[in-house]
Amino acid sequence: MTIRPILIHPDPRLKKVADPVTEITDDLRRAADDMLETMYDAPGVGLAGPQIGLMKRILVMDCSKDPEGSRNPMVLMNPEITWASDELNTYEEGCLSIPEQYAEVTRPAQVEVRWLGLDGQLHEQRFDGLWATCVQHEIDHLNGKLFIDYLSPLKRQLITRRMIKLKREMARA
């Protein structure tokens, strides 16, 4: 497994709609393993294909946050939200592509998601709590949407300017 570089906002690939997965190839399995490794290393609770420049509808997540280290890695391909609760939940979100910036985002508290698994089967499951927030945040990535798109233009511009500065510093280092 390889830790892949994570794209930092602003990057045109983070604004693009990713393509559906049509075939579960060895390359894609390897990419899923790499994405999980990259996510755990960061550390983060979710990562979507476009964040490593893979423009496919694939995401990984693990929100178990178990201090004892028991992991619950999930790989979702072509995920679709089939139901969302009226009840809303507000979480302070962050993103591996927007390091060290956090803001409150309100989303449905529960969602049902259908997806293609690495086993080639369709799965459907209801998510709540942090899992619900995470899966919605990662599906947004597959549609070229970032959590800062939910914020006011002013706040978004402020964060974007910080990221441009950070990228300049990283390029110099």
Residue 31 Cβ, how far from Zn ion at the closest point, in Å?
17
Which two three-digit tokens encode residue 146? 């970032």
Q: Which is nearer to Zn ion, 95 or 103 (CB)?
A: 95
Identify whether the C-beta of residue 163 lies closer than 8 Å to the C-beta of residue 9: yes
How many of the other CB atoms lie within 10 Å of CB of 162?
Answer: 15
Feature table: binding site:
95, 137, 141
The reply to whether 138 belongs to the active site is: yes
Residue 135 engages Zn ion in binding (rule: CB under 5 A): no
Strand pairing partners for 19? 56
Task: Provide the residue count of the chain.
Answer: 173
Residue with the CB atom nearest Zn ion in the bound state: 95
Q: Which is nearer to Zn ion, 44 or 108 (CB)?
A: 44
Candidates 95, 103, 148, 159: give the one binding Zn ion (CB under 5 A).
Answer: 95
Q: Which stretch binds Zn ion (CB under 5 A): 13-21, 77-85, 93-101, 127-135?
A: 93-101
> Between 102 and 124, whose beta carbon lies closer to Zn ion?
102
> Closest Cα to residue 18, out of 46, 53, 44, 42?
53
The answer to whether the peptide bond before residue 10 is cis (omega within 30 degrees of 0) is yes
The interface region with Zn ion, picked from 89-97, 101-109, 149-157, 165-173 by CB under 5 A, is 89-97
**Of 8-16, 35-43, 56-64, 95-103: span binding Zn ion (CB under 5 A):** 95-103
Query: Annotated binding site for Fe cation: which residue ranges?
Result: 95, 137, 141
Which of 23, 50 has the CB closer to Zn ion?
A: 50
CA angle 135, 141, 146 (to 5 degrees): 105
Q: Contact at 8 Å (CB) between 21 and 56?
A: yes
3-state secondary structure of 59: strand
Tell me the catalytic residues. 138
Chain residues in the site for Zn ion (CB under 5 A): 95
